[in-house]
């Protein structure tokens, strides 16, 4: 069939709508002969219209496209699909254009099933040469982000400086596929960099460079100026860079400063025997890794400072607790002597003085309790709840307290008495000498294997606006003394420590002025067979 015969039944120009820049289009008729071709296809196939139009498409592709293909297997697949009439969604082809330049082409074919052109084929050859570098760049950037994220994870999860440096070096070398690496840290005087961890480094290099004088060239560039330095074989020989590379047995070495708060604390060396030079994006990745390791080093340094400050604070608190307790014992002794010999207002003032000493003792006890709660992990065990409550009632003989007893055992530790000490003390302090206190222990209807403990009084009660924040020391009013309000804060901490919850209600619903009712839950121990128990 020739072009004249085709045009007699099909409008030749109808296929110009398929034309688009950068895409070669061939339209085949029902006999698989080329009916229409756009200018890009003709240019891509290095042919003329006379050599393409009206000829069998398989012969056209074999004669004009196959010689341009870099892979013969691709040519075979291309012609096979044409022979059996199979559509092809996309086939990547590398071709060489008439100027000798390599181009990337995506070939696809589609058969028209309906309408006036049913049975005809459309072959597309899309030039994606300009898109490949961008795609490769995105893939490279994505890989670099994955590497950096993993290094960040190592830096964030390391518990010590040594663990951080060792794990970061190993992870970096594994992810980058490099052959060797070292981490250096500066000494306190910042005159020498000392090797902390290394992998794959020749022993001969370590013998001479286990420590580096940082003010000597070329290391001052890294350790003093805080700038990365990249050593790559130049082929000239005889330079310091070439000597360093030769001593390590690598062709390229990245020397990246490790910065903590913009101060150089060390450096990361990464070497490769395969790579001869580092691309700009690789250098940015190395420097980002150095920054992340530096952030981890800073966290480790801050953690050490915090631990040192914590130990120092505990020392001061221990000394203060011991000395103040001794002073309080002496003060109480003198107060008792004064109360015995004085009368009238003088005796009243002596009793006030003793009360202040007692209050200071309570504050000190509360501070010690808070420290224990935060420092010591809970060692929970079954404790007879009734024994604990009765022991604390006996310590407050001046208070009128009713308690019917309980056989319940709860999961707690030896700090449980502090809960009742503070709740009873709070009721006595705010309720006055005539306040009555009642303690009850009941099964919890909302939870299995739990009891609800109620400590209520007939005192002045708690306003509604205070109920939600009464256990939060940080949200209490600013008019309190420095040590006041700690008791209920401790109660809240301990109940939470034991896996319970605490809240406060009016003793008489709707009447805050008639007293408060503190309620909290504790996990009950349920005895099983063979003297065992379950929570």
288 with 312, same domain? no
| Residue 479, pLDDT above cutoff 60 | no
What is the predicted pLDDT for the residue at 530?
A: 56
| Residue 198, pLDDT above cutoff 90 | yes
328 belongs to a structural domain? yes
**Bridge-partner residues for 102, per DSSP?**
96
Contacts with 408 (C-beta within 8 Å, 6 or more apart), sequence order: 384, 385, 386, 441, 451, 524, 525
**Composition of the chain by helix, strand, coil, percent to 5:** 45, 25, 30
What is the predicted pLDDT for the residue at 131?
A: 64
Determine the Cα–Cα distance for residues 172 and 177; give it in Å rounded to an integer.
8
What is the predicted pLDDT for the residue at 142?
A: 60
18 belongs to a structural domain? yes
Encode 263-290: b = buried (16+ Cβ within 10 Å), e = exposed: ebbbbbbbbbeebeebeeebeebbbbbb
Percent over 70 (pLDDT), the chain = 87
Closest to 372 measured CA to CA, from 409, 402, 416: 416
| Residue 272, pLDDT above cutoff 90 | yes
499 belongs to a structural domain? yes
CB-based contact 107:91 (threshold 8 Å): yes
> Tens digit of pLDDT for each residue in 213-237?
999 888 999 999 999 999 988 766 6
Mean pLDDT of 262-288: 88
310 with 276, same domain? no
**Phi-psi bin for 432: left (phi > 0), alpha (psi -120 to 50), beta?**
left
292 with 312, same domain? no
- For 376, the 3-state DSSP assignment is coil
Determine the Cα–Cα distance for residues 325 and 311; give it in Å rounded to an integer.
21
Mean pLDDT of 409-413: 94
> Tens digit of pLDDT for each residue in 492-503?
999 999 999 999
| Residue 535, pLDDT above cutoff 80 | no
121 with 180, same domain? no
What is the predicted pLDDT for the residue at 267?
A: 92
The CATH number assigned to the domain holding 73 equals: 3.30.450.20
What is the predicted pLDDT for the residue at 180?
A: 95
CB-based contact 436:507 (threshold 8 Å): no
What is the predicted pLDDT for the residue at 138?
A: 47
Determine the Cα–Cα distance for residues 446 and 130; give it in Å rounded to an integer.
68
216 belongs to a structural domain? yes
Strands of 133-251 (E only): list them.
180-186, 192-199, 211-213, 229-232
435 with 459, same domain? yes
382 with 434, same domain? yes
137 belongs to a structural domain? no
| Residue 368, pLDDT above cutoff 60 | yes
395 with 320, same domain? no
- Domain limit, last residue, from 79, 102, 129: 129
CB-based contact 438:402 (threshold 8 Å): yes
Domain that holds residue 190: 144-296
153 with 271, same domain? yes
Closest to 491 measured CA to CA, from 369, 407, 390, 352: 369
What is the predicted pLDDT for the residue at 532?
A: 56
What is the predicted pLDDT for the residue at 359?
A: 78
18 with 85, same domain? yes
Q: Rounded to the nearest 5°, which phi and psi values hold at 188?
A: -55, -30
138 belongs to a structural domain? no
381 with 415, same domain? yes
522 belongs to a structural domain? yes
**Phi-psi bin for 510: left (phi > 0), alpha (psi -120 to 50), beta?**
left
- Domain limit, last residue, from 129, 162, 191: 129
> Tens digit of pLDDT for each residue in 286-324?
888 888 888 878 777 777 777 777 777 777 777 777 777
- Domain limit, last residue, from 278, 296, 314: 296
391 with 529, same domain? yes
Q: In terms of pLDDT, which residue wins out, 425 or 410?
A: 410
The CATH number assigned to the domain holding 493 equals: 3.30.565.10
139 belongs to a structural domain? no
The CATH number assigned to the domain holding 271 equals: 3.30.450.40
What is the predicted pLDDT for the residue at 229?
A: 93
Concatenate the DSSP letters of all residues of 434-485 into one string: T-EEEEEEEE-SSSTTEEEEEEEESSS---HHHHTTTT-GGGS-TTS-TTTT
What is the predicted pLDDT for the residue at 485?
A: 65
Q: How many domains does the chain have?
A: 4
- pLDDT, the chain, mean: 83
What is the predicted pLDDT for the residue at 423?
A: 92
Q: Worst-scoring range by mean pLDDT, 334-343, 350-359, 413-422?
A: 350-359
433 with 530, same domain? yes
């Amino acid at each position: 069939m020739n072009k004249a015969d085709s045009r007699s039944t099909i409008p030749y120009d109808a296929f110009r709508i398929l034309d688009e820049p950068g895409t070669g289009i061939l339209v085949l008729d029902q006999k698989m002969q080329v009916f229409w071709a756009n200018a890009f296809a003709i240019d891509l196939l290095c042919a003329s219209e006379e050599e393409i139009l009206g000829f069998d498409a398989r012969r056209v592709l074999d004669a004009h496209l196959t010689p341009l293909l870099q892979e013969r297997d691709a040519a075979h697949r291309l012609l096979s699909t044409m022979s059996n009439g199979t559509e092809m969604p996309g086939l990547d082809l590398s071709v060489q254009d008439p100027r000798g330049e390599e181009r990337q082409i995506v070939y696809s074919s589609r058969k028209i099933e309906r309408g006036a052109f049913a049975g005809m084929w459309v072959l597309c050859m899309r030039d994606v040469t300009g898109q490949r570098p961008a795609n490769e760049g995105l893939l490279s950037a994505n890989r670099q982000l994955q590497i950096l994220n993993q290094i960040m994870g190592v830096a964030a999860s390391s518990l010590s400086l040594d663990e951080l440096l060792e794990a970061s070096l190993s992870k970096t070398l594994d992810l980058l596929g490099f052959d060797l690496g070292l981490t250096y840290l500066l000494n306190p005087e910042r005159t020498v960099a000392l090797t902390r961890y290394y992998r794959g480094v020749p022993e001969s290099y370590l013998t001479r460079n286990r420590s580096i004088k940082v003010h000597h060239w070329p290391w001052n560039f890294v350790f003093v100026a805080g700038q990365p330095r990249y050593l790559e074989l130049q082929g000239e020989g005889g330079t310091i860079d070439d000597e360093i590379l030769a001593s390590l047995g690598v062709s390229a070495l990245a020397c990246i400063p490790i910065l903590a708060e913009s101060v150089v604390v060390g450096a990361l060396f990464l070497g490769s025997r395969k790579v001869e030079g580092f691309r700009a994006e690789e250098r940015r990745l190395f420097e980002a890794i150095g920054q992340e390791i530096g952030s981890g080093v800073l966290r480790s340094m801050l953690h050490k400072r915090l631990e040192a400050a914590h130990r120092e604070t505990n020392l001061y608190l221990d000394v203060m607790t011991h000395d103040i307790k001794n002073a309080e014992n002496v003060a109480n002794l003198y107060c008792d002597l004064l109360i015995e010999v004085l009368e009238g207002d003088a005796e009243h003032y002596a009793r006030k003085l003793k009360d202040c000493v007692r209050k200071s003792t309570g504050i000190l006890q509360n501070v010690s309790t808070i420290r224990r709660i935060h420092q010591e992990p809970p060692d929970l065990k079954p404790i007879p709840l009734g024994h604990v409550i009765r022991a604390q009632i006996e310590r407050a003989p001046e208070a009128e307290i009713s308690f019917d007893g309980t056989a319940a055992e709860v999961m707690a530790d030896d700090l449980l008495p502090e809960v009742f000490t503070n709740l009873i003390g709070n009721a006595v302090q705010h309720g006055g000498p005539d306040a009555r206190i009642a303690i009850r222990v009941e099964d919890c209807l909302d939870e299995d294997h739990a009891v609800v403990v109620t400590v209520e009084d007939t005192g002045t009660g708690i306003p509604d606006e205070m109920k939600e924040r009464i256990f939060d020391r940080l949200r209490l009013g600013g008019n309190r003394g420095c040590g006041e309000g700690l008791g209920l804060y401790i109660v809240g901490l301990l109940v939470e420590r034991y896996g319970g919850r605490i809240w406060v209600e009016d003793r008489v619903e709707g009447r805050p002025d008639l007293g408060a009712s503190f309620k909290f839950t504790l996990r009950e121990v349920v005895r099983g067979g063979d003297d065992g128990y379950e929570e």
